[in-house]
């Protein structure tokens, strides 16, 4: 019976060790689930940031297109001003005069 008692004690010790291991594993599962939930939240947050970044990118593209159009308009305006100035210059001396017909000033 002594041998049987020793075997019972050994079995109870193993059982206690298994219970401890199971509890430890349960705690690790809880921690893993919490981390998983945090990762899901982080992924959702990052997805939202990507959407915001894409919207800002689209706005920047629109702004760039708008600015390109304004540059074209400004270039056309500058060109028209240059044409007007050229018409105001004397062909002989380059002096500005109010004739405006692209010919020569009153001195030429």
On the question of pLDDT at 100 being above 60, the answer is: no
Cα angle value 92/94/97 (rounded, 5°) = 100
pLDDT at 24: 96
Using DSSP, state whether 106 is helix, strand or coil.
coil
17-39: average pLDDT: 96
pLDDT at 89: 84
On the question of pLDDT at 88 being above 90, the answer is: no
Look over the chain and give the mean of its residue pLDDT values, rounded to a whole number.
92
On the question of pLDDT at 26 being above 80, the answer is: yes
Distance, CA of 83 to chain centre: 44
**Who's near 91: CB < 8 A, 6+ residues apart?**
102, 103, 104, 108
Which residue is associated with the tokens 């970044």?
Answer: 53
pLDDT digits (tens, 9 = 90+) for 44-87: 999 999 999 999 999 999 999 999 999 999 999 999 998 888 88
**What's the whole-model pTM score?**
0.54
């Amino acid at each position: 019976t002594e041998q049987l008692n020793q075997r019972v004690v050994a079995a109870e010790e193993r059982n206690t060790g298994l219970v401890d291991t199971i509890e430890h594993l349960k705690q690790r599962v809880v921690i893993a689930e919490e981390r998983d939930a945090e990762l899901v939240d982080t992924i959702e947050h990052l997805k939202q940031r990507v959407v915001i970044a894409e919207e800002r990118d689209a706005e920047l593209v629109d702004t760039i297109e708008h600015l390109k159009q304004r540059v074209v308009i400004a270039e056309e305006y500058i060109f028209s001003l240059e044409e007007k100035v050229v018409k105001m210059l004397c062909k002989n001396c380059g002096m500005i005069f109010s004739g405006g017909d692209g010919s020569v000033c009153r001195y030429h």
